[in-house]
A and B are shown apart, each in its own frame.
Chain A
Amino acid sequence: MSTTILEAKHIYKQFYDPVKIDVLKDINFQVQSGEFVSVIGKSGCGKSTLLYILSTMDTDYQGELYIDGKKMTGLKEKELAAVRNEKIGFVFQFHYLLNEFSVMENIILPARKLARKPIEEVKERSLFLLKTLDITKLADKNPRQLSGGEKQRVAIARAMINEPRILMGDEPTGNLDKKNSEIVFHTFQQLAQEFQQSLLIVTHDPEFAERTNRIIEMEDGRIIRQ
């Protein structure tokens, strides 16, 4: 059973610094549920820009964006924040964990914001995620005490806590060494296979992309292969 999770229709974007540059030109594509998609392209081809539009954080574009069948274009900042909270999980190049909170608290923060489930259930899910990602022993540690690979896995757990419709990643292995990259990749693969999690990962690592279900290749703001 495959439904469309994310759909981009004729997305254009320009930068005006210092002269007008078309960063994205007529982007059209869909992501089905359970797909593990990677977006590749050279530096500056607009792949990250596209990802931030798809993630609803950047609203300055033309065209239409649908997530889970709902139109995102034109929604208010607060409504978009709610969509991000509920339907999108995010993993960045940098981990962005809050040092003021423990690992466990970091992971459940988005779920507490959503406030749909009682706190015990949320904690159970976070323990389950930690176990799945093989980092159960880190639960009560402070993010400062973690290695780069561990931090990134905690960030993945945080992205997964609300059972998002789609998990997006912006170069999630960009800052990691070979070994840790491998671990993170396996984590993504595991999520895709075990939980049929839809994934949309931007990367410039061709080896990483090769092993995903589908590759979207971009050049100069256009999709040249998908």
Chain B
Amino acid sequence: MSSKLIIQIAYSLLMARWKQTLVAAIGVTFSITMFITLLSFMTGLNKLLDGLILNRTAHVRLYNEVRPDSIQPVEIAPEFKSNYHMIRSVKSGNSRQEIYNSEAIMDRIVQDERVLGIAPKITSQVFFNEGSLDITGVVYGIDVEAETRLFFFTDYMVKGTASDLKNVANSIVLGKGLADKLLADVGEMVQVTTAQGEQFRLKVVGHFQSGLQELDKTQSFASITTVQKLLGKSANYVTDIQIKLTDVSLAPKLAREFGTIFSIDAEDIQTANSQFETGTTIRTIISYAVGITLLVVAGFGIYNILNMMIYEKMDSIAILKATGFSGTDVNRIFILIALGIGFFGGITGLLMGYLLSSLIDQIPFNTAALPTVTTYPINYNPIYYLIGGAFSLFTTWFAGYFPARKASKIDPVVIIRGK
């Protein structure tokens, strides 16, 4: 059985009704185009929004929570062991926020091969003094190099250079919102008062914009040694260890592991930011749903056109059968017509989808919240093209299935005698 003949017959039938064919193919093209564009744009946006938080967040964070001791001294004392303890007004102990033995812990964690890198951090509450005004804020003591490597610190610098934090003594990078409030441009000095009442003058070496305005109004960064100096602490004083992993999905497991090994509080990224994942999933589901709906509508169009074609071509089908074409051959002809529409409509759709999304990629998108983004984000993931292509073939095959089966069951006797 020559498939070339089947293809030629299918082609001729298609061309005989090329206008309808074109309309059907355009339906597929349009839906695939929208499918690709929608998903590329949606996931691009998703990635951007997630990156806003997730890029800047440690996969696992080690810290000491300030909280009351879960075991009070009276519970340990042997003479009160059989007594019922009633303790009123329990206070959080004067426990240190400092991580005990931080250097040993960091040495140990760096050796773990699941860990991409670590960045120590000190959090310190301060007041920024501007004339008679005191503005509350936070100074983070960071290791600039580690922070840049793991958490893209420099990407968010809108003014000045990050390395000056390390090179210039007593320097600070202010959040954009905070800098606006303090009217502190790069090169100027700001005065801070620590919680302990110490006053320092720090030189502004840059502005920082995370994209989250609330944070930018309060946070600022200094080198670890500067913050240790502010707090009057020794050189191994660290309050947080931020860990970035090679595989983010391991975070909950490793958080538990490190938490028990170092008897410390450990928080994983999934727990800390569960809302982002939920949002991402839902947005992706919506995009897929819209894309697939479009394709199904296009499928109905193909179904209609094939059905019409079969009514028109009853005679031709009858004579093909009378001269020796079997039902299977006729079936194949119509499936091929449907797949032909799906294939060419799909290919064009993929191409148009690519063009449209690269067009969107060119549209300027400047927002104060996102300093590193200049155009709309597009995610050129080949998997969407694969899904789009496969789905266009599947829908058209399915749309052609029933008409083709109907055509294959046409009884030539009925048609020929009916004349």
Contact A98 B319 (CB under 8 A): yes
Bound CA–CA A113/B419 (angstroms): 26
Contact B326 A110 (CB under 8 A): no
Interface of B is mostly: helix
Residues of chain B within 8 A (CB-CB) of A112 are 2, 5
Any chain A CB within 8 A of the CB of B44? no
Any chain A CB within 8 A of the CB of B183? no
At the interface with chain B, which of A66-74, A77-85, A185-193, A203-211? A77-85
Query: What's the least CB distance linking B18 to chain A, in Å?
Result: 11
> How does the 8 Å CB contact mask read for B292-324 relative to A, with 1 for contact and 0 for none?
000000000000000000000001101111111
Contact A52 B1 (CB under 8 A): no
Query: What's the least CB distance linking A65 to chain B, in Å?
Result: 15
With a 10 A CB-CB cut-off, give which of A52, A81, A84 has the most chain B CB atoms.
A81
Contact B326 A81 (CB under 8 A): yes
Knowing A57-B412, A112-B2, A113-B5, the reply to whether A96 touches B318 (Cβ < 8 A) is yes
Q: Which partner residue on chain A sits nearest B4 by CB separation?
A: A112
Contact A94 B323 (CB under 8 A): no
Bound CA–CA A86/B326 (angstroms): 13
> How does the 8 Å CB contact mask read for A127-171 relative to B, with 1 for contact and 0 for none?
000000000000000000000000000000010000000000010
Contact B417 A96 (CB under 8 A): no
Query: What's the least CB distance linking A130 to chain B, in Å?
Result: 18
Any chain A CB within 8 A of the CB of B373? no
Any chain A CB within 8 A of the CB of B389? no
Residues of chain A within 8 A (CB-CB) of B318 are 96
Contact B324 A101 (CB under 8 A): no
Contact B419 A85 (CB under 8 A): no
Bound CA–CA A113/B325 (angstroms): 7
Q: Which 10 A-B pairs have the closest CB atoms?
A: A85-B324, A81-B326, A96-B319, A100-B12, A110-B323, A78-B326, A84-B324, A100-B16, A112-B5, A94-B419
Bound CA–CA A93/B416 (angstroms): 9
List 19 interface pairs A-B (beta carbons < 8 Å), by A numbering.
A48-B417, A57-B321, A57-B412, A81-B327, A81-B329, A82-B326, A83-B324, A84-B324, A90-B323, A92-B416, A94-B416, A94-B419, A96-B315, A96-B316, A97-B319, A98-B319, A113-B5, A113-B325, A115-B5
Contact A52 B12 (CB under 8 A): no
Q: Which partner residue on chain A sits nearest B315 by CB separation?
A: A96
Q: A90-B323, A96-B315 are in contact. List 6 more A-B contacts (CB 8 A).
A: A82-B324, A96-B316, A100-B13, A109-B323, A113-B324, A115-B1
Any chain A CB within 8 A of the CB of B363? no
- B327's contact among A55, A78, A84, A92, by CB below 8 Å, is which? A78
Any chain A CB within 8 A of the CB of B101? no
Residues of chain B within 8 A (CB-CB) of A97 are 319
Contact B413 A90 (CB under 8 A): no
Bound CA–CA A110/B329 (angstroms): 13
Bound CA–CA A78/B325 (angstroms): 8
Contact B16 A99 (CB under 8 A): yes
Any chain A CB within 8 A of the CB of B328? yes
Residues of chain B within 8 A (CB-CB) of A99 are 16
- A158's contact among B323, B325, B326, by CB below 8 Å, is which? B323
Bound CA–CA A82/B12 (angstroms): 23
Bound CA–CA A127/B413 (angstroms): 30
Q: Which partner residue on chain B sits nearest A101 by CB separation?
A: B12
Bound CA–CA A102/B413 (angstroms): 25
Residues of chain B within 8 A (CB-CB) of A92 are 322, 416, 419
Contact A98 B322 (CB under 8 A): no
Residues of chain B within 8 A (CB-CB) of A109 are 5, 320, 323
Bound CA–CA A157/B411 (angstroms): 24
Knowing A78-B328, A114-B324, A115-B1, the reply to whether A96 touches B12 (Cβ < 8 A) is no
Bound CA–CA A141/B322 (angstroms): 23
Any chain B CB within 8 A of the CB of A182? no
Knowing A94-B419, A98-B316, A100-B16, the reply to whether A84 touches B1 (Cβ < 8 A) is no
Contact B417 A52 (CB under 8 A): yes
Any chain B CB within 8 A of the CB of A22? no
